[in-house]
Chains A and B, each alone.
Chain A
Amino acid sequence: MTTAATTAPPTRLDEQLDRRERQFTETGAYAGLTDRLDLKEQEPILFEKVFSRLRGGLVTARETALNISASPIVKELGELCFAVYTPEGDSVALSTGVIVHVHTMSDAIKYMIREGYEDDPGINPGDVFCNNDSLIGDVHNADVQTIVPIHVDGRLVGWVAGVTHVIEIGASTPGSLPLGPISRFEDGIDIPARKIGAEDKLFKDHVLAAARGTRLPKYWTLDERTRLAGCLLARQQVESLIDDVGVDTYLQFCAELIEDGRRSFRSSLFAMTVPGRYRAPAFSEMTLGSESLMPEHARVDTMMHAPVEVRVTPDARLELDLEGASAWGYHSANCTTAAMQGGLWVLLTQTLLANDKINDGAYYTISTNFPPGSWSNHQNPQASTGSPWRFLVPSFTGVLKSLSQSLNARGFVEEVLAPYAMSANTFQGGGIDHHGQQAAITNFSISCVGGGARMFTDGLDYAAAMWNPQGDMGDCEVWEINEPFLYLGASVKPSTAGPGRFRGGSGWESLRLCWGTEFFETQNIGNSRITMQSGLWGGYPGATGYRHNVRATNMFELAGGLLPYPVRDGNPEESQIDALVEGDSEFDQRTLTMPNQMRSGDLYLSPMRGGSGVGDPIERDPAAVAADVAGGYLIPRLAESVYGVVVGEDGAADLAATERRRAELRRDRELAARPFLRWFEDERGRIAAHAEDGGERFHPAVQRMYAESMRLSPSWAEEYRDFWHLDADFLYDAATPTVEISERMLRGRDPEELQRQPRTEVESPLPERRPTGAEQAINRQTLAALLDGELPDGQVRQIQSGYKDGDRFDTYLAIVQARWPFPEDRVLLPFGLHLCIVELPSGERVIKSDSGHVFGDYRKNWKRGAMVRVRRDEEAMLEVFPDKMHPDPEWNEIREYYDPVDFTLLDVESVPPGYPAVHDFLPELEVFYRDWLGREL
């Protein structure tokens, strides 16, 4: 039965919302549409027409509204998006633009419904609502939402909402990503889902009040007009659509479209992934421990733990679980569930869901666990969420890495991506600008960083960022309108990219000269202690960063004498700034600071990070390494120490010397590595000593991170103790004040309610397996050429952009099997670059490398059968990363897992000391073969 069409809906919104949630819980389908989608199947053309008009209306509204904005990040960087929602607040369709907010606005609408806004303050035709409260449904205060209801003949039939990222939000520190607030009360303008207008006009008191709350009222005001104009235009389009098709058809269409979105996402998972469990923990840092401008309780170094576990369920749904996440803190990087959903949405729309038909259907295919009290779901009305991207960006590297593992196993090698880079160092500040005006800036050239390496080619250099695939660094001349700083240069930053057989995308840097102001504060916002991401299959993570600012310089003396001044810093080991300019230099790895005053003539360096690599660096084409040195992508010293490539005086790789050097490197690895179990025992002892007096202690931030995770999550604590064979009462002895606050605050609350996601226990039947049409098939030769990097770029892009072929797994498996050096083995599942799950002649199913080493049963962590080397001192770090761009070994060690036969590097873990070895991929092999492929294993 298709309940959406046949039962009369309740007239009250809160009842409608309850009904929708109940329908989903009880049937597992949106709006209870478990069966045929009548409109879609009986009138496929009409269905499509309605869709294209709805979406067209949103795109038009956005394009028109864009022109009203004054904000460069809205106008030039597209930080504007509109969406249409059902009466219950589920998104139906959305415009182009930054689409992270599609679900956040859904949460805001549902909040208004649940809180009874229908009665008070009333939801009437022409009303305008605004929200920027992240606990209600937002990422952070800077993302401001305008929401208007759509009524037909007095009946509410939906909502249109629009969001912009406002450039200045009136927080305790200037800019839109404030890193200074330590509580909610410093996050700036706060509008917790309020009615701000009626009869399509804004209330004057709201307009005046908001303008008084920011350092840059003009931007706020124009952005608000932008959103309102777009919402009204989009509403008009929906109204005219309803005029043409009728309310009932329209509402049925909305429900079917969302259910169709849910089914499509399941079909994508079913077609492109492998059921199983994926783990890729990620970390982030908040280093305010030496920041004298902070109150004492916030003057702490924090390490964030994102124990990302992704599960693809046997019935083709996606689960994201952050059980074990560390606690919220007195800083501005805390997240709400809405922010987490936003991050997930951004990531999926760049990978599995890159199309224009996405809507909340995907949301209903995903189950999440964001543990209450953790940084990912802080639940504390007093916690600051001014700059959650600082945690979101790192943590979602784990999701990307997990998806890549799955895409490779399934043969979709063209979609594999290693983790991307962090947007840092962000240039942000405020003061009196060169026009003599009060000003605040956030430089959004941070939307271009290095992407992760691909499976057959290097990562995309200096382009997109995780939070905006359509990244752009803008024009120097346009930034110089708003910023009292002159560009002295913008250039490729060497050795930012994570090394690998294919390296990550490179980062870049800009050097700025403070100019035309006597008072402007800037802050440094970046990472330096930890790498944020790990690489993929032996690739290293991208480098960390540093700050290099110089105050009271002799810049103008240099210029007056026409003497060289710096235009970049380049390789920090041979810093150009250091070489050419004198002054009070801040040249260190303290990359997070509160705003500090700068004056004309001072220098500020903004280095952007690079993405992580794929595969063992000593398998990289020597010519590519030589080209990287020549092109300034790699500092020469690291060509030998990481890649084992000897570059001759002519700049070309010396192949004979390279071969010798690489053989040496393999021997060095052999000497430096230990069998897993020996490493495990030593490490275990080190950890156990924490519980004893006089034992060596990890860095306080690391201890606190573990203590928080273990106190917040008994199950994670148990797993931790189990892994290291620790006593049942083992705990890190660190104060965790925010955990205690959460415990008190959350006591007695319904855990499900704290997750705020409708759930269902109903298992849906698997999507249909579909044969590949002749038009979409990719034959073995083509796929092999793709894998070997021999396919022309244009053809690769065609494959990436086209529909995915249903036979891919078998095509890929045949290639892998044919290349497998042991014909007696039956390859069951590709596992990485050198690893496969194979069935041995004995019938055992094991993980085995192409060197012939058997790592053990495929259900166990293969790393137990590997040789391990841990880089935990500066000297070892400097073999991989440049000085001032390497992780701090007290915070972050680099673990390398080698093949015991030929010492090929199989995996790099970038984790804090004491972290369990990550079991990255546990496939449900039998389910996959039997239920997904339709044949026995």
Chain B
Amino acid sequence: MPRVIAYDAGGTMTDSFLVDETGSFVVGKAQTTPEDESRGLLSSTEDALSQWDVTAETAFPSIVSGVFSGTAMLNRLLERKGLAIGCIVSGGLEDYLRLERGLQTWLGMTYADRLHVTTHFHNEPLVPRERMKGVRGRLDLFGNEAIPLYEDEVRAAATELLDDGVEGIVVCLLQSFANDAHERRVGEIVAELQAERGTSVPVFLSSRLYPLRGDFPRLNSTLIEAYAAEPSRHQLGKLDRAMNEAGAGFDLRVMAAHGGTISIDSSELARTLVSGPIGGVVGARYLADALGLERAVCSDIGGTSFDLALVNEGELSIRQTPDIGRFLLNLPMVEIESIGAGTGSYVRIDPTSNRPEIGPDSAGARIGTAWPEGGVETVSVTDLNLVLGRLNSEYFLGGAVTLDMERARDAVKRQVADPLGLGVEEAACGIVDLFEEQLRYAALARVLGKGYSAVDYTLFCYGGGGPLHVGGYTRGAGYADVIVPTWAAGFSAFGCACADFSYRFDQTHSLTIKPGHESEVEGKLRAAWSVLAERGVEAFVRGGIPPEQVSLKRMVRMQYAGQLNDIEVAANEDRPDDVGSLIDRFEQLYAKIYAAGASSPELGYAITSVAVVASAPVEKPVLPVEALTDAPPEPKAARPVWWSESAGPLETPVFEQDDVRAGQSIVGPAIVEAPSTTLAVPPGRTAELDKHRIFHLHDAAKD
């Protein structure tokens, strides 16, 4: 019977991932239903359960944990379909959303366009200028009041906004993370007014939700909370109710940017704006932990991008001000580097230099020229794979889509091979090689750039396109191991199911550690942590989880005094406030993260912010365990495949993934096909399936 379920509701398809108590899993798929997401979720679940011949009525009561991740909130933001919000900001800054930060005019653009200034543009504001209200009053960065709050202006502003019928009021005043007195007072005044008027428009204080330094990202995060997350809360509530009606006993949780899952009642739901890519990384960390690996490179190839993240000592690194959809946010988020190189990436020859270029834009879900229905005229990486025989035109997406080999060949010849003066297969092979070389380098650069070498890392490969290229982008790199789970295509949903139930709270505190004054800092740290810890416990209690089940992890972000870049240091839980051990840990981490010569202890140390992660136990998937077999693997077919320009086509055995048994080794050249993905094992490499149904790709010579 299923124990754990996770959903990944994308723009077109909703994946569900169900695991039973033995680690067996099934993946279900159904069309996403944006108007009422619960229908899509339920059909996707039914699709999965049908593979186990179980009905939803019988299965749901046995599920103890359910996690959701989806793109609905992000879409609401990008399509500007959020609520009518009013903002109260420091007087004089009413133009926040018109001026933005200059960088929001080029965020997310390719390198070329970041230079190419005529392509830059401002975002359409989430709140029109007339609903941006300034109120006089100023605090300084120490939290001291320089100018008192002009309460009459607050009353006037709030009255105008309420008269205007806003559906939420966001309050973001300068330096409020250091002292929330002015913001709190604004909140009180609005509450008084609402009491008089008998309204209950929600009010969002930036100092309450996201109390970190940086007024613009703080405003953005708070604004998105009001604009896009609030409506999503209703949607998620509906999902939760639908689950309960279907017999589920669990409370649905949502995947959040910091790598944990949070309740749909959380007051900081904007943290769940981006969850899909996070899921994969969390899954890789979980696997790494289960396999006893300290360090891992997580790599995910989808149709449009190559996503990379590192696991160091079992931890994911966190970015304090990520950007999503051209918004700079102060929501701590798992650091993922996304490169515009996916299986759908376009391949072109620059007419000016006659040099090949891959991406950064892509055909995405429209696949490439091989799929005439997609309407794509430009060659994509998938077209090249098809031409080389690495993909099966009859078995793409399990046969759901039939690809047109001749159309692809013709396009590759005309657009790529002829201009380069190469044969079709030679060109295709060369470009795929170049593509993989770029990915290989991008992954290695992450490791090298932090001062490690590849042998310290195990590479995890997942995502629909990963297994096809993993042989290429790990070639000769020297990783300790290369791991491809057989469920690579459903890995994001799997990862969501592996995530902790945890809240994260961050607060800016500028604490310079002066020698001889450590105890002052320690006192301040204890106070700061206890405020955040209280919020963490409170968040769980609200969801009915008793405080004794909540465990706390205390962290600081530290830097050499005066430096801008800080790194996250987890406190020693035996004596978290011991400044000496924080400094030791900081130095150790710093030395591991950055190349030699960067260490600057003579500058002294400073703490920039404190954080607490509060977690409660949840059931997570167990890994499947399958008996090993001695029997040799049986191919289902064979076809000619190009593996290199020099060797030409090689007759290559093709295996069905479900038929490969634990303990079997697939010796390259070989292709392993599954409905959702294709694993390519190049000549000289061997893929060995372990008892957890995970492939380990290594050099044949090793055996």
Q: Is the CB of B420 within 8 A of A800?
A: no
> Chain A contacts of B421 at CB under 8 A?
41, 44
Q: Determine the residue in chain B with the shortest Cβ distance to A489.
A: B92
> Chain A contacts of B99 at CB under 8 A?
448, 462, 473, 490-492, 508
Interface residues as binary, B210-245 with A (CB distance below 8 Å gives 1, 0 otherwise): 000111110000000000000000000000000000
Residue B631, interface by CB 8 Å: no
Q: Is the CB of A460 within 8 A of B121?
A: yes
> Chain A contacts of B214 at CB under 8 A?
475, 477-478
> Chain B contacts of A801 at CB under 8 A?
110, 112-113, 116, 119
Residue B101, interface by CB 8 Å: yes
> Chain A contacts of B350 at CB under 8 A?
803
> Chain B contacts of A776 at CB under 8 A?
351
**Interface residue stretch chosen among B41-49, B77-85, B384-392, B590-598:** B590-598
Q: A52-B441, A480-B141 are in contact. Are A793 and B355 (CB under 8 A)?
A: no
| CA of A233 to CA of B598, assembled, Å | 12
Residue B12, interface by CB 8 Å: no
Residues in A513-528 with C-beta less than 8 Å from chain B = 513, 515-516
| CA of A565 to CA of B92, assembled, Å | 10
Q: Is the CB of A49 within 8 A of B146?
A: no
Q: A562-B152, A568-B92 are in contact. Are A806 and B351 (CB under 8 A)?
A: yes
Q: Determine the residue in chain A with the shortest Cβ distance to B122.
A: A461
Q: A60-B445, A64-B595, A516-B140 are in contact. Are A349 and B101 (CB under 8 A)?
A: no
Q: Is the CB of B98 within 8 A of A471?
A: no
Residues in B24-58 with C-beta less than 8 Å from chain A = none
Point out which of A44, A462, A559 has the most chain B C-beta atoms below 10 A from its C-beta.
A44
Residues in B335-350 with C-beta less than 8 Å from chain A = 348, 350
Q: Is the CB of B116 within 8 A of A350?
A: yes
Q: A68-B598, A72-B564, A490-B93 are in contact. Are A476 and B119 (CB under 8 A)?
A: no
Q: Is the CB of A45 within 8 A of B140?
A: no
Q: Is the CB of A770 within 8 A of B117?
A: no
Interface residues as binary, A19-35 with B (CB distance below 8 Å gives 1, 0 otherwise): 00000000000000000
Residue A232, interface by CB 8 Å: yes
Residue B325, interface by CB 8 Å: no
Q: Is the CB of B434 within 8 A of A480?
A: no
B564 to chain A, nearest CB (A): 4
Interface residues as binary, B146-165 with A (CB distance below 8 Å gives 1, 0 otherwise): 11101110000000000000
| CA of A67 to CA of B422, assembled, Å | 43
| CA of A59 to CA of B595, assembled, Å | 15
The one of B140, B348, B438 in contact with A56, judged by C-beta atoms closer than 8 angstroms, is B438
| CA of A201 to CA of B138, assembled, Å | 47
Q: Is the CB of A470 within 8 A of B106?
A: yes
The one of A222, A232, A354, A472 in contact with B563, judged by C-beta atoms closer than 8 angstroms, is A222
> Chain A contacts of B117 at CB under 8 A?
350-351, 417, 451, 460, 464, 469
| CA of A486 to CA of B215, assembled, Å | 13
Residue A75, interface by CB 8 Å: yes
Q: Is the CB of A64 within 8 A of B353?
A: no
Interface residues as binary, A45-84 with B (CB distance below 8 Å gives 1, 0 otherwise): 1011100110011011101101111111001100000000
Q: How large is the interface on B (under 10, 10 to 19, 20 to 34, 35 or more residues)?
A: 35 or more
| CA of A218 to CA of B602, assembled, Å | 10
Residue B366, interface by CB 8 Å: no
Residue B515, interface by CB 8 Å: no
Residue B95, interface by CB 8 Å: yes
Q: Determine the residue in chain B with the shortest Cβ distance to A59.
A: B445
Q: A434-B140, A475-B101 are in contact. Are A469 and B116 (CB under 8 A)?
A: yes
Point out which of A57, A237, A464, A793 has the most chain B C-beta atoms below 10 A from its C-beta.
A464
Q: A64-B449, A354-B113 are in contact. Are A70 and B355 (CB under 8 A)?
A: no
| CA of A476 to CA of B420, assembled, Å | 51
Residue B656, interface by CB 8 Å: no
The one of A41, A47, A201, A803 in contact with B351, judged by C-beta atoms closer than 8 angstroms, is A803
Interface residues as binary, A769-782 with B (CB distance below 8 Å gives 1, 0 otherwise): 01001111000000
> Chain A contacts of B118 at CB under 8 A?
351, 414-415, 417, 454, 460, 800
Q: Is the CB of A96 within 8 A of B111?
A: yes
Residue A922, interface by CB 8 Å: no
Residue A274, interface by CB 8 Å: no
| CA of A350 to CA of B111, assembled, Å | 11
Residue A658, interface by CB 8 Å: no
Q: A49-B437, A228-B597, A508-B95 are in contact. Are A464 and B102 (CB under 8 A)?
A: yes
Ranked 10 nearest A-B pairs via Cβ:
A489-B92, A567-B92, A354-B116, A45-B430, A472-B103, A67-B565, A448-B102, A472-B102, A60-B445, A264-B353
Other A-B pairs beyond A56-B438, A232-B596, A562-B151, 11, CB < 8 Å: A49-B434, A76-B564, A222-B600, A448-B99, A477-B141, A477-B175, A477-B177, A492-B99, A515-B146, A776-B351, A801-B112
Can you identify 22 A-B contacts, CB atoms within 8 angstroms?
Answer: A48-B355, A49-B433, A66-B565, A68-B565, A69-B565, A70-B563, A236-B448, A263-B353, A350-B116, A448-B99, A454-B118, A461-B122, A471-B103, A481-B141, A486-B174, A487-B92, A489-B134, A559-B146, A565-B147, A775-B348, A776-B351, A803-B351
